[in-house]
Amino acid sequence: MENRNVIRFAFAVGGFTMLSRVLGMVRDVLTARLFGTSLAMSAFVVAFRIPNLFRALFGEGALSSAFIPVFMESRRTEGEAAAWRLARRVVTLVGAFLLGVVALGIVGLSAGLRWPDLGEKAAAVLPLARIMLPYVFFICMAALAMAVLNSYRLFSVSAFTPALLNVTWILSVWFVLPVVRGGTSAQIQALAWTVFAAGAVQLAYQIPSLWRVGWRPGLDSDWRDPRVKQVFLLMGPSALGLAVNQVNVMVNSLIALKWVGDWAPSALFYAERLIYLPQGILATALGTVLLPVLSDFAAQKKHDEMRGAIHHGLRTLLFVMTPAAVGLFVLAGPVVQMLFEQGSFDPKSTWLTARALSFYAPGLMVFCLAKVFVPAFYALQDTRTPVKIGLCAVSLNFTLNVVSALTLPEYWKHAGLAFSTVVSEGFNGLMLALFLRRRLGPFGLRGILAGLARALGAAAAMAAAAWFAEREITTWLYVYLPHKAAQIVGVPLAIALGAGVYFGLARLFRFPELGFVFDALQARKKKKVAAPAP
């Protein structure tokens, strides 16, 4: 029953996460139309990585993962008042630290801008980074608020919060940027100010829900509280555990800008955004839901239930992510062309982005592994193992990046950077699985691999059908519709046909994982029916 509830909660969160991803795709399409793969866009991408990295390290990654198990244990053993006292102390200390980081960062970036012979690329990145750096404070505070709400299993509010960045961004691109004078440079700076504003919006949105569950404003800097020390001791080594992917893409962007080309960070960014779209359906949502659930099991020493939740989650994730990975690999070119090719995003930008996407696509089957395994380690309050493995994965990624940048042909270098991320993330996931198995015992590897084999077989048939359908449908539509309209109609039809083949085969051959999904959806529907009217 609890496993079904985990998947049901994950689908509920996944709905909001998917909404955020769709809005994010709209924002990226609009942004691509304005900036394409120009140096201005690449500079923005690199600058935007900095607050995103801090968010992963100190917000959604380390802080949330360290805070939730301790907060839930405090609620269970000491009561609500003690738990809120802990939260207030953590918020006070983290907020003061982040304000210090932002202040020092702005001073450092301002000094860097005065450096002689700064170079065109650095001169483009540093002003944008200085504008967006305060976003670090807002988004990390918002992530801590999300952790509190998730511990009360109010997943929907926190799941919708990231969408507010995209909403703010879209409104800016539609209404603000068109009236900004000064060309591309001024417009990209206005977009950076938009990110700053969106952070404040994301934090403010959660305050009413926090108030309803018991939060009251106040400052308390008592760092001597043993629970506070426990949070920060867990947080320290976990800073890299959940953030391996963000660290890797940050390294990718820096190497791409320095050694590959002005266009490379932008091409990688757009490809990553397409990868994040299907990943948001279930992988991110399941990771969000699993941490408090596994923390609850760990607090009660229910290791059998932990193994069951991990097994169930992995099989469901791989069932969904495998066709997404194969489909994006096969249809990379048509998908990128349909979504982005317009305005400043020219055919060369399409070609470069599609190549990166093809090499990123297999990663969908391995990026999701950490979303399951890392929360299990943190639920056990073991943050050292993920960070040790994460450091090895980052080192592997950096080594492969350097080799790709120095040895591959010019327009294959960025694809090599993308595939380096896939290899290092796969290493990270497999090593996490091995060490977790030593802690908890077997969690049904044979069933997981059997499910993956079935998914790959069905996905191969799906890919053949989708590839053939895309070629035939769009070719036929070109006769009757404008080029872009034919793509907008033809590519989704091919994707829908491929999805029909995949799920039809899953139904025909009775894949158990399809039953997991149906059970979760039916449980969610029954809960809605049984809920009293407001």
Spans of all domains in the chain: 2-525
Q: Which residues make beta-bridge pairs with 342?
A: 345
pLDDT in tens, 446-477: 899 999 999 999 999 999 999 999 999 999 99
Instruction: Compute the average pLDDT of residues 333-345.
Output: 96
Q: What is the dihedral of CA 404, 409, 410, 413, to 10 degrees?
A: -20
Structure tokens at 306: 């932990």
Task: Inform me whether the pLDDT recorded for 126 exceeds 80.
Answer: yes
Q: Which residue has the tokens 């399941």?
A: 286
Residue 59 confidence (pLDDT): 55
Instruction: Compute the average pLDDT of residues 112-139.
Output: 91
Residue 369 confidence (pLDDT): 85
Task: Inform me whether the pLDDT recorded for 386 exceeds 70.
Answer: yes
Task: Inform me whether the pLDDT recorded for 326 exceeds 70.
Answer: yes
Count of other CB atoms within 10 angstroms of residue 442: 9
Residue 55 confidence (pLDDT): 73
pLDDT in tens, 350-375: 999 999 999 999 999 998 888 788 87
Position with higher pLDDT, 262 vs 59: 262
Instruction: Compute the average pLDDT of residues 256-267.
Output: 94
Check if the beta carbon of residue 305 is closer than 8 Å to that of residue 2: yes
Percent of the chain with pLDDT over 70: 87
Structure tokens at 259: 């050694």
pLDDT in tens, 475-509: 999 999 999 999 999 999 999 999 999 999 999 99
Of 90, 362, 387, which Cα lies nearest the Cα of 242? 387
Structure tokens at 283: 């992988």
pLDDT in tens, 204-259: 999 999 999 888 888 887 778 888 888 887 776 655 555 666 778 888 899 999 89
Instruction: Compute the average pLDDT of residues 162-169.
Output: 92
Residue 165 confidence (pLDDT): 93
d(CA 109, CA 512): 54
Residue 521 confidence (pLDDT): 52
Q: Which amino acid is located at 138 in the chain?
A: F
Check if the beta carbon of residue 315 is closer than 8 Å to that of residue 506: no
What sign does the dihedral 254-256-260-261 (CA atoms) show? negative
d(CA 190, CA 440): 50
Give burial (CB, 10 Å; 0-12/13-18/19+) of 512: middle
Instruction: Compute the average pLDDT of residues 325-349.
Output: 96
Residue 419 confidence (pLDDT): 96
- Weakest mean pLDDT among 96-105, 154-163, 232-241, 307-316: 232-241
Instruction: Compute the average pLDDT of residues 254-281.
Output: 89
d(CA 24, CA 37): 17
Position with higher pLDDT, 532 vs 267: 267
Q: Which residue has the tokens 């996944």?
A: 14
The DSSP code for 182 is: S
Residue 492 confidence (pLDDT): 96
pTM of structure? 0.86
Of 323, 314, 416, which Cα lies nearest the Cα of 375? 314
- Residue 472: phi and psi, rounded to 5, are -75, -45
What sign does the dihedral 476-478-483-488 (CA atoms) show? negative
Beta-carbon contacts of 435 under 8 Å, excluding residues fewer than 6 positions away, are 385, 389
d(CA 282, CA 284): 6
Residue 77 confidence (pLDDT): 85
Highest mean pLDDT among 238-242, 310-314, 380-384, 411-415: 411-415
